[in-house]
Amino acid sequence: MNHMKIIRVTTGKLASDEIFKLHGKKFPLKDAYVAEYKSDTHYLVVWASKSKTEKDAKELIEAMNKKIPLSKAFRYVNKINVDNIEVFYVIGMGMDNYYFLKGDENYWVAITGDYSLELLKKFIIEVN
């Protein structure tokens, strides 16, 4: 995401609280961060959480997979494979939204602008 400028980074308790607000409840987390990036053509925000165990992280993404299809904010849940990572894709809130599990970490990446999948691929390479 070399052409994007970081415009905000939130870590620790403030990031966890932001993630809890999005989920509407608290759950065990070891760490979290929220980062926003902007370029002339794109806006990207990442909500990332690190669970205490891989099992906790998997349970979180399973809960998201049950809740998202019932949401009025998101539509078109699709599963795609990006660099051997199972990624869930939904449209909503005026953005392309991708969420995925990587070990004990959960990521939600929301992107505006064309070629959002290409930006997601760059992000996944950076977190690998």
Per-residue pLDDT, 76: 82
Tens of pLDDT, residue by residue, the chain (128 residues): 668 999 999 999 999 999 999 988 999 899 999 999 999 999 999 999 999 999 999 999 999 999 998 999 998 889 999 989 999 999 999 999 999 999 999 999 999 999 999 999 999 998 88
Alpha-carbon distance of 12 to 98, in angstroms, equals: 22
Per-residue pLDDT, 1: 61
Alpha-carbon distance of 106 to 10, in angstroms, equals: 16
Per-residue pLDDT, 2: 61
What are the CA-CA distances from residue 125 to residues 63, 83, 118 (Å)? 26, 8, 11
Alpha-carbon distance of 108 to 70, in angstroms, equals: 18
Q: pTM for this structure?
A: 0.94
Alpha helices for the chain (secondary structure H): 12-23, 54-67, 116-127
Per-residue pLDDT, 49: 97
DSSP 70-91: G-SSEEEEEEEEETTEEEEEEE
Per-residue pLDDT, 18: 96
- Helix, strand, coil content of the chain in percent (nearest 5): 30, 45, 25
Alpha-carbon distance of 77 to 94, in angstroms, equals: 15
Half-sphere exposure for 69 (CA within 13 Å, toward CB): 9
